[in-house]
Amino acid sequence: MLNVAVLGGGNGAHAAAADLTVKGFEVSLYSRWPEEFRPLRERGGVGLIDATGQRLVPIHRVCERIEEALEKAEVIVVAVPAVAHEYYAGASAPHLREGQILVLNPGSTGGALAFRNNLKKIRPTLNVPVCETNTLTYICRLVGPAEVRITSRAKVQFAALPGRRTPECFPLFERLYPASTQRKNVLQTSLNNINAVLHPPGMILNAGWIEHTKGNFSYYIEGSTPAVARVMEELDNERVGLCRKFGFDTERFADFFFQAGSTSEAAYRSGVLHRVLQESEPNRFIRAPENLSYRFLTEDIPFGIVPMAHLGSLVGVPMPIVQALIALASVINGQDYLHAGWTLEKMGIQGMRPPQLLDFLENG
C-alpha cells in the first residue's frame, strides 16, 4: 500500500485526503493550522460528496506535527495556495529523505522552482525531486465543516525538477491519478497554469459587481461575459507565445478546460471561448468571491501571471495584457505584485540565459 502525506487544510487537501483514501492509499494529513481539522476529528472523517453519492471517509492519520505526516510517506502532496509554499518548504525541509517525491498540487507558475529554491537554502544537498501539476487534480469546494464536494477530477500534467527525474517520478504519481500525463520539465507545467488565465480577467473586470453584491452571482457563468472572454483569450495568446519562445508547443486554454471535464464537447468544438465558459456544468453553481482580497487575485496574480511577466522579460516576449492585469490588481489591492510575487530571484534562476535555464530545468 502506497503511503501518501497530504499537506494542507483547505478544499484541495480535504478532497485529496478523502479521494486517495477511497482509492486505497494510506493517507497522513497535516496542516499548519491544527484547528482546521477539529470538525474532521469530531466527525471521524471527511464527508465526501461526488458523482457516486455521499459518504464519510475516515482518514488513516491526522497529524499534529509535520514530521509525523512525512515519516512513512513515499509521495508528499502539497495541496495549499502558493502563498503557503514558503512555509511548507521550510517546515518540511528538515524531515525529507531520499526516495520520497514531493508534488505541488498545483504548482502555479514557477512553484517547483521557488519551492526547491527555498528547500536548498535550508538543505543545499537535499536530493528529493520537487514535482508539480499544472492545475489542481479536483474541481472541489468545502461545503460544510469537514465536508467536501468534488464535482470533477481534472486530467493534470505532471513534471519533476530536475526534469531528468520525471520518468522515475511519474509512475508513482500516476498510481494516484491515472488520467494524468507527463511533460518534459516544470517550465511546461508552469506555463500551462490555466488558473492564471481563468481567474485574473474575471476578477478585475467584475470588480464593481463583486464589491457591490459581495459575490452574489455565478462567477464562472454570469461573470464570464463576451468581453471577459476576449481579454482571457488575449491573455492566453501571450502565454502561448511565451511557450513557443521557449521552444515548445502548448494547448490553448479551451483545450485544457475541455480536457479537465469543465465544459461540453459542443462548446469546445465551437471554438468560441465565451460559449466554452458558459457551458461549464462543474463550475455553474460556484459563487463569486465576497471581496477582491481573494486567491483569484492574491494567488493567481503574484504566483500566476507575475512569473510569466518575468519570464517574458527574460526572453524578450512583450506581454501587455499580463502587465496591465498585474498593474490593475496592484492598484485594487494596494500591493506591488510585480515584485512581491515569484521573481526570477525567488525562483532561483536570476542571471540565467535561456540555454542555461533549459539545462537547469533538465539537470538541476
CATH of residue 257: 1.10.1040.10
Find the mean pLDDT for residues 325-333. Answer: 98
Q: What gap in Å lies between CA 162 and CA 120, rounded to an integer?
A: 13
In DSSP terms, 144 is beta-bridged to 147
The pLDDT value given to residue 256 = 87
Banded model confidence at residue 364, pLDDT cuts 50, 70, 90? confident
Q: End-to-end alpha-carbon separation of the chain, Å?
A: 30
Output the DSSP codes for 275-318: HHHHT-GGGTTPBPPSSSSSHHHHTTIIIIIHHHHHHHHHHT--
Same domain, 123 and 167: yes
Q: Does any domain span residue 363?
A: no
Helices of type H across the chain? 11-22, 38-43, 66-70, 85-92, 111-122, 166-176, 186-190, 194-205, 207-213, 226-245, 253-259, 265-270, 273-278, 295-298, 306-315, 320-333, 337-340, 354-363
Q: What is the CATH number of the domain that holds 122?
A: 3.40.50.720
Is 297 within a domain? yes
Question: What pLDDT does residue 229 have?
Answer: 97
In a domain, 357, yes or no: no
Q: How far apart are CA 81 and CA 117, in angstroms?
A: 17
**pLDDT for the residue 284:** 85
**Neighbouring residues of 212: CB distance < 8 A, sequence distance ≥ 6:** none
Q: Give the domain-ending residue among 169, 190, 211.
A: 190
Q: Report the pLDDT value the prediction gives residue 202, as an integer from 0 to 100.
A: 97
> What average pLDDT does range 167-186 have in this prediction?
96
| Residue 171 and residue 29 share a domain | yes
SS3 138: strand
Question: At which residue does the C-alpha cell 543545499 appear?
Answer: 124
The total number of structural domains that make up the chain: 2
200 and 136 in a common domain: no
pLDDT digits (tens, 9 = 90+) for 275-310: 999 999 888 888 999 999 999 999 999 999 999 999
What is the domain range of residue 116?
Answer: 3-190
Q: In whole angstroms, give the CA distance from residue 236 to residue 241.
A: 9
DSSP letter, residue 247: T
Task: Compute CA distances 144 → 27, 39, 123, 167, 348, whole Å.
Answer: 21, 9, 39, 39, 39
137 and 203 share one domain: no
Average pLDDT estimate for 254-265: 88
pLDDT band of residue 190 (cuts 50, 70, 90) is very high
Q: How confident is the model at residue 161, as a pLDDT?
A: 98
Residue-wise pLDDT for 60-118, tens only, equals 999 999 999 999 999 999 999 999 999 999 999 999 999 999 999 999 999 999 999 99
Name, in order, each residue with C-beta under 8 angstroms of 137's C-beta and a sequence gap of 6 or more: 12, 15, 16, 105, 153, 154, 156, 177, 180
Mean pLDDT of 47-57: 96
Three-state DSSP state, 232: helix
pTM: 0.93
pLDDT digits (tens, 9 = 90+) for 106-154: 999 999 999 999 999 999 999 999 999 999 999 899 999 999 999 888 8
Query: Does residue 240 contact residue 308 with C-beta atoms inside 8 Å?
Result: no
Mind listing the pLDDT tens digit for each residue in 30-51? Answer: 999 989 999 999 999 999 999 9
Tens of pLDDT, residue by residue over 225-245, are 999 999 999 999 999 999 999
Round to whole Å and give the CA distance between 134 and 177. 13
pLDDT at 226: 97
Q: Are residues 339 and 209 in the same domain?
A: yes
What's the rounded Cα separation, in Å, for the pair 15 and 139?
9
Same domain, 259 and 129: no
218 and 122 housed in the same domain:
no
Residues 12 and 138 in one domain: yes
Percentage, residues of the chain above pLDDT 70: 100
Mean pLDDT over all residues of the chain? 95
Residue 229 cell numbers, joined: 472572454
Backbone angles phi, psi at 56, to 5 degrees: -95, 130
Q: What is the pLDDT of residue 115?
A: 98
Asked if pLDDT for residue 260 goes beyond 80, the answer is: no
